[in-house]
Amino acid sequence: MSTNKPSNFQQAITGEWHGLPSVFDADGNHTGFNKVSRASVFEGDRTTYWMETNFMNSGELRNRFDLPNCRFEFGVIDSDQDRVYCGPDFVGAGRPFGMLVDSNYYSPGWNCDLKTVNLVLPERGIQVYSSLLYEGETLVSVFNGIYKVTQDHDTNPDTQAMISDFLDGERQRASQPFVLPVKEQGQWKGTFQVYDVNQEYVGDAEVVMDYQPTSLTTADVQVKVTGAIEKEYSYSRTRVNNSHSYSGDGKGSMYGNGRSYGRYLWSVQHLHGEAFKIRSRDAIIDDENSICSIWQIYKSGKEALTAFGVLEWTETEQVLKAQYVK
């Protein structure tokens, strides 16, 4: 059962969400799509989450995840502290941090434990979604994609056409790899909302990332964070296929690695000389290299802060140009 008033997050996700999440195997190979329409509906004193899917894949993953003619529908205990999923389709819970929900739940039909992150960006009318699916600690698959919200999809032909165009665009973009500008120098800049471990908002942080390619697969990055988080660090990043790594020259440098699944990159970065690390999920969300980032910050081995926002890209110049031999 729920309280008589929906949570802040429940109010933020009112409407029907439409998406075409990509499906990847554990190595990062794109295997197809899962066409989804879904909504979380607050009625009376109950919240019900429903989801209709079309699992457009073949082979092993389809055999595992396709449940034909099955409408997912499960009760939710809704609050701003926890969103508890009561089955039968999913059993577990999610933690809201403002417009972000970080969830961990089990799917009996898929025999998978899911670690799912949803971030609503109201100014863009989208939800940036990802799920890591596990057997124990073994990664089985990854789902990720962008959802767009509507309030009148069933009755408005213009809305239906807009969603159809959006899904066509997603079909083209969804399997593109997480590759940052290859030859162009520039800067990402944005404002992150910051929450503490009690899910309380503690303020905003301004993030500036100066980026300079040093080869077609490497770049040097300087990061400055001010406000609710005060930190400066740097790293050299390297990409080999969908494997990413970070290194530096000692104190003040980040070291770590990550793996991308299409447009989404999961990474862990450790700050040299401090008990400080960042677990990050980054997603390229448009054709202008805007990055939606979610940081889980750990201090002394304990979760300390959750920060998230959108970094907008500004190109300054092309630094890798045609070479000649005299």
CA distance 27 to 243: 10
Does 299 score more than 90 pLDDT?
yes
Residue 19 has pLDDT above 50, yes or no: yes
Query: What's 216-265 look like in SS3?
Result: CCEEEEEEEEEECCCEEEEEEEEEECCEEEEECCCCCEEEEEEEEECCEE
Where residue 204 falls among pLDDT bands split at 50, 70, 90?
A: very high
pLDDT at 1: 39
Residue 5, pLDDT above cutoff 80: no
For residue 35, the model assigns a pLDDT of 86
* Same fold across 8-173 and 184-318: yes
Q: For residue 31, give the DSSP letter.
A: E
Return the CATH fold of 184-318: Lipocalin (2.40.128)
What is the Cα 173 distance to its own chain's centre? 15
Q: Coil, helix or strand for 98?
A: coil
What homologous superfamily does CATH list for 8-173? Calycin beta-barrel core domain (2.40.128.20)
Model confidence at 141: pLDDT above 70: yes
Q: Domain coordinates of the chain in residue numbers? A: 8-173, 184-318
- pLDDT of the residue at 114: 97
pLDDT of residue 68: 85
Work out the burial of residue 80: count CB atoms within 10 Å of its CB; fewer than 13 is exposed, 13-18 middle, 19 or more buried: middle
Q: Per residue in 80-136, pLDDT tens?
A: 899 999 999 999 999 999 999 999 999 999 999 999 999 999 999 899 999 999 999
Bridge partners, residue 16, by sequence: 150
Round to whole Å and give the CA distance between 221 and 273. Answer: 19
Q: For 24-83, what is each residue's pLDDT tens digit? A: 999 999 999 988 888 788 877 788 988 888 899 988 899 999 988 888 999 999 898 999
Average model confidence (pLDDT) across the chain? 93
Q: 298: which 2 tokens?
A: 């750990």
pLDDT at 2: 42
Q: What six digits make up the tokens of 285?
A: 């969300």
Buried b (16+ CB within 10 A) or exposed e, 294-303: bbbbbeeeee
Which residue type does 20 have?
L
Tell whether the model's pLDDT for residue 4 goes beyond 80: no
